[in-house]
Structure 1
Amino acid sequence: MIVLNLNSFAQQKGGEENQKRTFEEARELAFNGKRQQSQEVLQLLLEENPYDVQARTLLAKTYSWDGKYDLARDEFKELIKYAPREFEVWEAAIKNEFYSNSPFKALEMADRALKHLPNNDKILFLKAKAEAELKNNKEALATLEPVLEKDPDNEEALALKASILRDLRKNDIIVRSYVDIYSKVFDPMQYYSVGWRRKTKLGSITAKVNMSHRFQTTGTQYEVDMYPKITKGMYGYLNFGVSNSSLYPDVRYGAELYKSLPLSLDASLGVRVLKYNTTTTVYTGSLGWYTGNDYLQFRAYLTPNDRGTSKSGFFTYRKYRKNAYNYFGVEIGMGFSPEIYQFQSQGNEETIINLKSQKLRLEYYFSSKNNKNRWGFKQVLLIKK
């Protein structure tokens, strides 16, 4: 009997060690982008032990990362039944709802989690985040209070609080300044913008004055932007601007419609009109995808003219940190976009608009702890061909 017990214990111990090694292999596959292989290994582990919390949690996370939010929900539902006090399970389950653009479900999940993990700072933060996304700003501030009382230097909580306070404000004054420095040919190009933004129930309205000094000339443009809310997951963009300077179009206006799609996708379609000596119409559209803290977008521009249609495309990748104001970005472009670059035309705007080029831009943006001040750096490589 003693020998059998020892053998049984040895087999059990060996089995546990094998399971640990197998789980680590699955984890490594998941974090190296081989999620399907990882899921297959994890499913085998769960066949042997359906109550393996680590394996099922990782499986649910990989489903969430792949945009399979319903499959992830099913796994989290099972986990909560037999591991209701596991913080990692609740945290991943709540984040799954954020990834699926379901802040109401995230809030419900956070409330359930707090019944099992009362006063957990990280769960309280996620609850406040869900409340903020639902525009329950006063409730979100109240939820954040105990988090900041315990940890006044909590950067995530401070950033969320600052964002909520900004959202509660009806009016904002916006001041921006940019300088492009060239190694050859051109003097530094200076750009300045001063604006006033008013938040309304129908969306935000921004009136601004843009000024620039380029090619030994100073010019001014007056512009209005509107972002009207249309329905849940859909909003618009309207723009109108005028100028009497050759650095800007005489008149510019545009409109675009933005729509949230399933699987954390978003898309838009719009038009821009630029009036110099002649009128140029630019059609544009974009397709973007959020995956965790990463955002990828492709935007295309089509510009009809007498010689056909000019085409350009821009691919953008951003890696966000604590919020939308802190990120590293890369943009690669082919073709020319008059939407972005407004050079001094001197009657040659048709040539400029149809200029072909390749572009690579690197950018890094960061903010102060209270998000009141923001800084950024850009490195642009523009190659004409």
Structure 2
Amino acid sequence: MISKIMLKLLFLALFFGGFQMSAQETKFEGDPDASFEIARNLAFNQQRKQAQDTLLFILTTYPNYHDIRSFLATTYSWDGDYKKARKEFNYVLEKDIENKTTWIAAIKNELWGDLPFAALEMTNNALKIFPKDTELLYLKASAQENSNNTLEALSTIQLLLDTNPEDQKAKDYKANLNNGLSQNAIGITSSVDLYSDVFDPMQYHALMYRRQTKYGSIIGRVNFNRRFNENGVQYEVDLYPKITKGLYAYVNFGIASTFLFPDIKYGAELFKSLPKSFEISLGFRTLKYNTTTNIYTGSLGWYTGNSYLSFRPYFTPGVTGTSISGTFTYRKYRSDADNYLGVAVSMGFSPEINQFAIDENAAKFVALEAQRINLGYYFTSSNKQNAWGTQLAVTHQEIIFDQGNFFWIYSLVLSWELKFK
């Protein structure tokens, strides 16, 4: 890899050696291949503007050097300037319609520019020239999926697999498409909390059904809790309505007739996507026992590569003042959103996080000290239909009726989910 200092020196050499400049015009008279190589190195070393200037200079003398123009278009696409990239790609394809590399780059430009129908039209035209080409079929399936034609995408990827049955990338993509077509899911979650002092082990179980609709997902849940030698059931529903592109909501409602759960719980939150892969939210939760506890919350999340980081604070007014707590979460994704390793670190007591840890009185005295770390691992079967998860958590928490003293809570959570059409 050429160092950045060397690249700058080579770039200066192009101006003072390879280019002949006059007051009236600028004309490239150097070695186009050598200059192209320098421009590529500049582009791959985050010096895209210098690379683009170099490529444009070469094209003043060699306008039909298609590899250079196609690479220039690709750098525009990397920068998000899809319109400018499209112009250069079209120039090349009009003169060299059998340039498959340019077809592929041009189609990706349309996909990155969120124009899946344009990308689909291009793949159909390219496949007339390169029938059953693996890369083009894969891009066609991507365009069909992005234009909400998942069944057609599945047919396309199957055509690819008929020709190349051992294509692992295509097999994984087919599994993901089938997973997307599975609009229903049922699941079971079981957990146990072991206390170092005061309390006997406590159990929590849930049976879940989820339905994915074009308006968002709906989740129904029956929660069972065993604490203090008592059993209790709660019925709960979660909604994730889509409002518009980049904007969706979370709505929750639950009821119960046992002191182990709030009599009524409800909440809502609004999520908004931001530039640079950030997401922000703002909402509340309400727990109604004999008295009402309101929790105000929000989040700031960031997707970077295969990682996700978020911070969520909680503000809970109570009889002893307002409790402030927060959770930092990190996830490292693997093949998709159902396969990841996660860690969450919490500081402070919040009834939203700790609502199963003690009893209804915890909602009244929220200014307690607590620290918690939670490790989770989630994975799916090869066909993506079955999903499993496991969590291990350790909590150091102040005792509500003996403030100043603490106990440890050791938690184990296991979950399973089955997706089906």
* TM-score by shorter chain over 0.5: yes
SS of residue in 1 equivalent to 2:262: coil
Match of 1:311 in 2: 324
Q: In structure 1, which of residues 162, 167, 177 is the aligned counterpart of residue 189 of structure 2?
A: 177
Match of 2:52 in 1: 43
Q: Is the 8 A contact 1:303 1:311 kept in 2?
A: yes
Q: In structure 2, which of residues 104, 121, 145 is the aligned counterpart of residue 132 of structure 1?
A: 145
Match of 2:72 in 1: 56
Give the number of the structure with larger relative contact order, counting CA–CA contacts within 8 Å between residues 6 or more apart.
Answer: 2
Give the distance between the partners of 2:187 and 2:324, measured in 1 at CA.
33
Please report how far the alpha carbon of residue 183 of structure 1 lies from its aligned counterpart in structure 2 after TM superposition. Answer: 9.3
CA 1:41–1:384: 2 relative to 1, 3 Å: farther
Please report how far the alpha carbon of residue 355 of structure 1 lies from its aligned counterpart in structure 2 after TM superposition. Answer: 3.2
Please, which runs of 5 or more residues in structure 1 have no aligned partner? 1-11, 30-34, 64-68
Give the distance between the partners of 2:169 and 2:103, measured in 1 at CA.
18
Please report how far the alpha carbon of residue 368 of structure 1 lies from its aligned counterpart in structure 2 after TM superposition. Answer: 1.1
Q: In structure 2, which of residues 88, 109, 112 is the aligned counterpart of residue 78 of structure 1?
A: 88
Give the distance between the partners of 1:351 and 1:304, measured in 2 at CA.
9
Please report how far the alpha carbon of residue 77 of structure 1 lies from its aligned counterpart in structure 2 after TM superposition. Answer: 4.2
Match of 2:384 in 1: 371
Q: Is the 8 A contact 1:100 1:263 kept in 2?
A: no
1:1-385 to structure 2, matched below 5 A, reads 20=37, 23-24=40-41, 27=44, 29=45, 35=46, 38-43=47-52, 45-47=54-56, 49-50=58-59, 52=68, 56=72, 59-60=75-76, 62-63=78-79, 69=80, 71-75=81-85, 77-79=87-89, 81-82=91-92, 94=107, 103-104=116-117, 106-108=119-121, 110-111=123-124, 113-114=126-127, 117-152=130-165, 154-165=167-178, 167-168=180-181, 172-179=184-191, 190-200=203-213, 202-213=215-226, 218-350=231-363, 353-380=366-393, 382=395
> What amino acid does structure 1 have at the position aligned with 2:150?
N
The aligned length equals 360
Q: Is the 8 A contact 2:73 2:85 kept in 1?
A: yes
- Report sequence identity in percent: 43
Give the aligned CA root-mean-square deviation in angstroms.
Answer: 4.0
Q: Is the 8 A contact 1:239 1:254 kept in 2?
A: yes
Give the distance between the partners of 1:98 and 1:359, measured in 2 at CA.
42
Give the distance between the partners of 2:193 and 2:135, measured in 1 at CA.
43
Please report how far the alpha carbon of residue 227 of structure 1 lies from its aligned counterpart in structure 2 after TM superposition. Answer: 2.7
Please report how far the alpha carbon of residue 318 of structure 1 lies from its aligned counterpart in structure 2 after TM superposition. Answer: 3.1
SS of residue in 2 equivalent to 1:348: helix
Give the distance between the partners of 1:299 and 1:96, measured in 2 at CA.
35
Whose radius of gyration is greater, 1 or 2? 2
CA 1:219–1:294: 2 relative to 1, 3 Å: same
Q: Is the 8 A contact 1:156 1:322 kept in 2?
A: no
CA 1:300–1:152: 2 relative to 1, 3 Å: farther
Give the distance between the partners of 1:85 and 1:287, measured in 2 at CA.
47
Q: Is the 8 A contact 1:365 1:374 kept in 2?
A: yes
Please report how far the alpha carbon of residue 275 of structure 1 lies from its aligned counterpart in structure 2 after TM superposition. Answer: 1.6
Q: Is the 8 A contact 1:42 1:55 kept in 2?
A: no
Match of 2:26 in 1: none
Q: Is the 8 A contact 1:129 1:160 kept in 2?
A: no
CA 1:379–1:235: 2 relative to 1, 3 Å: same
Residues 11-53 of structure 1, C-alpha deviations (whole Å, 9 max, x = no match): x9998568647745753x4xxxxx4xx3245335425545536
Q: Is the 8 A contact 2:266 2:286 kept in 1?
A: yes
TM-score, length of structure 1 as denominator length: 0.73
Q: Is the 8 A contact 1:246 1:344 kept in 2?
A: no
